[in-house]
Amino acid sequence: MTTITLEELPNYTGKHVGQSPWKNISQEMIQAFADATGDHQWIHVDVERAKNEAPWGAPVAHGFLTLSLIPQLNQSAMTVTGPAATINYGMNKVRLPAAVKSGSDIRSTIELISVEDIDEKRVLATYKTVIEIKGEDKPAVVAENLAMYVKP
């Protein structure tokens, strides 16, 4: 786990700032996401059909499930100390190059792209997050995600 103070953060621009531990994507997690979002497409939830008919030979996680894990993965990879609050401010760019098969392990690798003072109370950091799939050549996610740090 990398720990960086808010004051030190600009010194890390252009640098790798963290890598999360591996996280398993279970079929139960995929099913729960399908239930929460109403997206029950067979490639996600019909295990037998996906094994026989899907191009991956297995059910796959929803791309938005994998994307939604960025905060959890990144928080286990790095922390910025000093802000009163950290707000998920959104994304600039997102690509989903590869599907995550049920049972796969994923992890995030984080690079700090930029840090910008918005005003005397807010700092906007832009990160490049890549979610790797263990044993696969292509990543599951490549995203430019934004964190707004609110000073105390």
Q: Are 89 and 147 in contact (CB under 8 A)?
A: yes
What pLDDT shows up at residue 23?
98
What pLDDT shows up at residue 81?
98
**What is the CATH topology of the domain spanning 2-25+60-150?**
Thiol Ester Dehydrase; Chain A (3.10.129)
Query: How far is Cα 96 from Cα 94, in angstroms, rounded to an integer?
Result: 7
**Could you list the pLDDT tens digit for every one of the 152 residues in the chain?**
999 999 999 999 999 999 999 999 999 999 999 999 999 999 999 999 999 999 999 999 999 999 999 999 999 999 999 999 999 999 999 999 999 999 999 999 999 999 999 999 999 999 999 999 999 999 999 999 999 999 99
Q: Are 12 and 4 in contact (CB under 8 A)?
A: yes
Using a 10 angstrom Cβ sphere, with 0-12 exposed, 13-18 middle and 19 or more buried, the burial of residue 65 is: buried
What pLDDT shows up at residue 14?
98
What pLDDT shows up at residue 18?
97
User: pTM of the predicted model, to two decimals?
Assistant: 0.95
Query: How far is Cα 150 from Cα 102, in angstroms, rounded to an integer?
Result: 37
128 Cβ contact list (under 8 Å, min separation 6): 110, 111, 113, 142, 143, 144
